Each structure stands twice: as structure tokens, then as C-alpha cells.
A and B are shown apart, each in its own frame.
Chain A
Amino acid sequence: MLSITGNVLILTILVITCLIIYKSLASLKNKKDVSILPIIYQLNLLQTTLTITTFFVLVAAFIVSDFSLITVFQNSHTSKPLIYKITGTWGNHEGSLLLWINIMVIFSFLFFVINRKNKNYQLYTLIIQNILIIGFFLFLFLNSNPFNKIFPIPKNGLGLNPILQDPALAIHPPLLYIGFVGSSIFFSAAVAALITDINSNYFARSIKPWIFISWIFQTLGIVVGSIWAYYELGWGGFWFWDPVENASLLPWFAMTALIHSILVLEKKGNLINWVILLCLLTFILSVTGTFLVRSGVLNSVHTFANDPSRGIYILSFLSLMILFSIIIFFKKSKKEKYFFNINSKETFILGNNWFMLFYLITVFVGIVYPIFTEVVADTKISVGPPFYNSVIIPVVIPFLLAMAVGPNLKWNKNEFFNIKKFLTLFLLAILVNIFLVMLFKSSSFIINLILITSLFLIFYSLTDFYNSIYKKIKFDLGRIISHLGFGLMIFFIALNSNFSYEKNFNAKVGEIKEFNIYKIKFNGLGVKEKKNYHSIAGSFSIINIKKNTLLNLDPEIRIYKNPETITYEASIKSSAFQDYYLTMSNISGSDVYNIKFQNKPFMLWIWISAIMISLGGFYNLLKKKNKKIIYEN
């Protein structure tokens, strides 16, 4: 029943989408009429409503556990809590693709309704976006149809992978998708801008909010994924430079470059070609990321359901997209004149773009190189954290400095920045760094530099903040929040990675172990029964000998019923200054348990500062809505 409904809906939407393109083309031919036919609005509204309906039909199928659908059968189970039945909808390839299309359609509709000033631009954006929508709908319908039936109908489903039954992972895909897929709208708009030769200022203003929305959600999506990995995967880290994690960074770098250079375009009318290229690049990289993750060409510790046929479809679609956008770009882009003074804000924004592209290329090379060597030389290699650490960390140092100084410069003016402020704050940063190094009794040259420059950025942003509040100098508060957040994030990551303590050991019940300043006692084991799993919970006492504090941690070994899987749940005690992290595992029921104990300073602050980065964008977005655009200086 639901299968037929779903398939009929998909086919109807496909027809409507074709109609939208047809009507738009017809409307474009009629050059005298500057208004847009109401039928196009109506079709758009219908398309959006039906697409959302299709999504809810699938959600309904998951809620009522309709196992006649393969997707539901493979990813759900009647005994699952209701919330995870719902989130299971996008916890699989087919459902998440439907979510992807939903975002494309909703963004298409909103963009169309909001930007009404230029008919040609509006219609071309709509056409390009709908061509993309058709591409993904065909992929959904032909290759990854969530409404495919299974016969005979199974009594129960296979269940959702337990590590996905988690609140953070329930919201991680939608957040990330709004970022990834949201970029489709400025891809379409950029192509439309090339075709219609639109006023660059209008183009900038029309896509700016969409860039902000995508960027905010993508940032949040990455952070939430990272938090999930930290507490769920049990190794105590939050970023492993794994190819799948890195794939999400590629569009983020491009989008971050874009969010900066769009300011130059909006304010000065410069860089139109560069902005268009970045718009194209962002969505292309989003699709590339999806291709790499879903096709199984990557060797990753995270596994998605892989299927080479999906890979081939996405790859051909991707190639077409790249080819098409390159052709349009070279045929239609105009020559532009640049007026730059070296010591102006524009130069620093270009500097930011240079850094972003540097990171992008580094990460891209890191992802692709193993595929390359496997095909060419048949050697399997993996590019791990050492590569990224040695390439990216040194470059972060000048980046942080530029990030502090750049925003304080004036547009288009050749004026030296405030050297007195620079030196005072730099000195202050060095002093605080010396204090920190003495406190933690450890130091390496590169960590010192990172700490100094990140502190410098923090102080610089704080003085900007002070000036904007008390001296009423007009600053872009959103920028200050984001830059401050970034400075804090690097600062806390540096402290965290340098001053974490980790100890691995084996223990039996009742044993006491002593390391460093800790005494760890394995008190006992208990059994817990829950709806869809039972667990063995260990009870540990951590005694800090130096401070004489006691802490109890109780990690679990969970045995899920459907599908039958064992997971190890870390026990984490977070506080303002540090996290205590303990995981235990067991090999084939022996009485010895393998234990990993970690003390990680400032974990909470890493999350807070990372969220702050996206909050800055959010602040700017809301401010834009109030039509009060305040520019620095």
C-alpha cells in the first residue's frame, strides 16, 4: 500500500518537475512579459508539498513498521524505541537520499519565492535547480528506491545498527545535509548568473543568506558528528582524519572561502568570477564527498552501506555536472578588472581564500592519493593523522594571525594596521603562553606557536568585541563571534592534544591499579536490562592521589538484540576543566577486562567554541533579516 503511494508520488513529482522546466523555458521565450506566470508558482508549491509528503509517507512506513518495504525491513525492528524508528528513516542510504531531495526542493521553492527582482535570473536558477532535482530523483527511483517491495513480507525487520541509535546521530545527517545540499541552490544561481549576465551586486545579495544557512548547518553537522564519534566510538578522540570525515571538510573549506569572498563581491563588486567558481566548486565537492563515501572506493573505519552501482551513477552525474559547469563558465564568464591595494581588507579576504584552498587541496590529496596508488601501483596505503598534522598545523599559525588582523583593515584603502595594538596583544599572548607552559610543565616548539597565535586571535577578537560594545565602533559582531570561536577552538584543541593522559591496562574484578597520579579500582560488575538490549556494567573508582578526589565511572558492554551486536559504551564524566573517559572491553568472555582510561582537558570547551563558530554565522543571518546590515568600518 505505502509502496504504491510512494512510487506514484515520486512519478508525479518527476512529471511536475519536468513541467516546471518546460513552463519556465516557455516563459523565458516570451521576452515582453517581465512577470512570471502564476502557474510556475503553483507548480513549485505542488512539487514541494508532494516531496515533503513522500518523505512523511516513508516516515510513516517506519513508524508502523511496514516490512513490505525492503528499506524498512533492513533498517528497522518492531522493538525499537519510537524515536529511533523515526530517525531510522534517514539512517540508511535510500531514506537519506529522499531527505537530500527534500532539501533541494524546499530550497528551490524558497529561493524562487524570495528573489523576484530579475525574471531571467529567477527562472534560470529554477531550471538548473530542477535539472539537478530530476537527476537525483531518477537516481532515487531507479537505483535506490525506498519504496521497493519485498515478498514474502517478513515478520520482523533486521533492526538499526545500535551505534546509530543515538540522539546525536539522529540529528547529524539532517544538519550536514542542509549544508551539503543547500549548496545546490547557489550552484544553480551561479550558473544562472553566468547565463543571464546579472548585476553582480544583486547576485551577491540573493545568494548570501543561502551561503550562510548552508555554512551554519554544515558546521553544526560536522561538530555533532564529531561529538558522536567522541562518546560513541570509544577511542576518546573526536577527529581521526579518516577519509569519510575529511570528505565532509572539502565543501566546508570551499564554503568558508565563499562566505568571505562574497563580502568583497557584495561590497566592492569585485571577484565575481571567483565567487561563481567557488559556488560551483562547493556543490561539486558536496557531490564528490557523497560519491566517495557511498561508492566504497575509500578505505575507512566508518562504513556506509556500499554499492558500486550507486557509485557509477553518482560519478557519471558528477562528471556531467563538472563538464557542464566548466563549459558554461568558460563560455560565459566576463573579464573583470581588479583594483586592489595590498594592505586592504580585500587582500586579507583573498588571503583567507588562499588558506582555505590550501587546506582543501591538502585534504583532497590525502583522500585521493590512496585510491591513486592502489589503481596505479597496486599498493595499499592509508594517509593518516601524521600527514595532516605535519601539513596543516604549521600553516594554521600564519592563518590565525591573519584572521585577527584582517577584519580590522579598511576596504580598498592602503593603510597600515595598528602596530601598537598588534605588539601589545602579541606580547600578552606570549606571556599567557609562558604561564600555561609552566602550569602544564610541558612544551614543544610548535605547540607554543599555536598557543601564542590562537591566544593572539582570542585577545584581538575580544578587544574588537569591547570596542563594538563600549566605544560604539561598528564591527560585524557575527564575524567577531566566529573568529573568537575559531581561536578558542584551536587553543583548546592544542591544550587538549598536548596534555591528555591515556593509560591502557587489563584488570580483573577487585583489582587496584596505580598510574601517574591516579589509582583505579575495578569494583564490580552488574547487569542491566533495557527494552532493546541488556548490558554488563562495570563499576570503577578513580582516585586522584594528588588532589584526593574520588570519581565513579561505569562503562558498559551492551548486547543489542536486533540486530545482535555488541557495543562498548564509554563512561564519561565531563566538567569545565576536563573529561574523564573510560571504556572497557572483553574478549570471548574471559575474566580479564581490557580497559582504556583517559583524562582529557577542556573537551567541553572544544565543543562550545566549535558551536560558537556557527553561532556567529547565525547571528549575521538573523541580522540580515532585520535589514540592518552593519559593515565594519
Chain B
Amino acid sequence: MLTKKAKKRIIILGTFFLFSLVSIFFIFKSLDKNLLYFKTPTDLLKSESFVNGKEMRIGGLVKKDSIFIKGDEINFVITDLKNEILISYKGTVPSLFLEEKGVIVDGILKDKKYFIANRILAKHDENYMPPKIKEKN
């Protein structure tokens, strides 16, 4: 027979483990739901599992002469020198946002050629280039 004390200890330890298991399950489940994929325009074209309205990050270079301001929108094209995607954005751009420079945008994919950005990210480092493009050059 277990003593009262031992029983209590088992209960405490048991709850602790159960709690931990549930929470780890919980962590990984949310991880699965909330991942942001980082893609280049070519990745997007190749990928078969296209989901409209999926949140993701896209990286590449801002194409030359593609920045176009219309109303409250800023439109530009991101290229990885093979394929391109049109980006539409509202708001301020980071200081390193320039033609033919690297850029990463956060936002929602509308279709394989059109993307609505919520945020433009720029590294503080001015030599920055999204790694995938650097590899290809």
C-alpha cells in the first residue's frame, strides 16, 4: 500500500508531467500553424501546394525601374534573376530599399505573381543580400 505522502507525491508529479506533455504538444501544434515560409519567386512558381491568402516572406532583389507609386500604394517587382513577382505595399519603406538591392517582404500571397506586403524588412547591414540569391550568382 502506498502511504498518503507517496500518493500525494505521485499526484503532484503526475500532474506536472501531464501539464508538460500537453504544453509541449500545444507548442508544436501552434508552431505548425504559424510558420512563415521564406520563398524566392522561383520557389513560388515551382511549389505545387499553392494556397491563396497564405502568409509568408518573399526575398529577392528590387527590379530596376519597377518601383511605381500610385495613390497610397507602392508597387514594385521582386526578382531572383529568373522569375518575378509583383508586390503591392502601403507605408514607409526602410532606408535600404533601393532598386537592384536585396529586400524581404512579409505579407500575404494573392497568386503566384501577386503579393500584398504588410512589412518590408531590411537588414541594417548594407551589403545584405538574401542568401539564396547570393548562392546563385
Contacts and interface: CB of A to CB of B under 8 A. Distances in A.
A163 interface: yes
Interface stretch (A27-35, A176-184, A380-388, A543-551): A380-388
Given A379-B37, A505-B72, A342 B8 contact: yes
Given A365-B31, A594-B91, A358 B23 contact: yes
A588 B68 CA distance: 11
A272 to B, nearest CB: 18
A532 interface: no
B35 A387 contact: yes
Nearest to B37: A381
A594 B34 contact: no
Interface in A562-621: 565-568, 583-585, 587-588, 590, 592, 594-596
Contacts, number: 112
A309 interface: no
Contact of A505 (B27, B33, B67, B90): B90
A56 interface: no
A390 B33 contact: yes
A303 B55 CA distance: 24
Q: Tell me whether chain A's interface is mostly helix, strand or loop, or mixed.
A: mixed
Nearest to B24: A361
A51 B16 CA distance: 46
Interface string B103-137: 00010000000000001011111101000100000
B57 interface: yes
Contacts of A583: 92
B67 A391 contact: no
Contact of A301 (B92, B97, B121): B121
B50 interface: no
Contacts of B10: none
B27 A587 contact: no
A89 B71 CA distance: 46
A163 B74 CA distance: 25
Given A369-B31, A506-B74, A588-B99, A595 B121 contact: no
Interface string A328-364: 0000000000101010000000000010001001100
Given A365-B27, A369-B31, A384-B34, A301 B123 contact: yes
Given A567-B95, A568-B95, A587-B67, A391 B125 contact: no
A365 B32 CA distance: 12
A235 B67 contact: no
Interface string B15-28: 01001100110111
A347 to B, nearest CB: 8
Interface residues of A, number: 46
Interface in B1-20: 8-9, 12, 16, 19-20
B69 A387 contact: no
B92 A381 contact: no
Interface string A30-44: 000000000000000
A384 B36 contact: yes
Nearest to B19: A354
Contact of B92 (A369, A584, A588): A584
A565 to B, nearest CB: 7
Contacts of A366: 31
A504 interface: yes
B30 interface: yes
B27 A590 contact: no
B81 interface: no
A387 B31 contact: yes
A303 B31 contact: no
A302 interface: yes
Given A358-B23, A361-B27, A380-B38, 8 more contacts: A338-B9, A365-B28, A369-B31, A379-B37, A382-B35, A386-B34, A387-B35, A506-B71
Interface of B: 8-9, 12, 16, 19-20, 23-24, 26-28, 30-31, 33-39, 55, 57, 67, 69, 71-74, 90-95, 97-99, 106, 119, 121-126, 128, 132
26 contacts: A161-B124, A234-B92, A299-B38, A301-B123, A301-B124, A303-B124, A303-B128, A354-B16, A354-B20, A380-B37, A380-B38, A383-B34, A383-B36, A387-B30, A387-B31, A387-B33, A390-B34, A391-B26, A395-B23, A566-B95, A568-B95, A585-B93, A587-B69, A587-B98, A592-B69, A596-B92
Q: When A and B form their complex, which 3 residue pairs have the shortest distance between CB atoms, in order from nearest? A: A504-B91, A380-B38, A387-B34
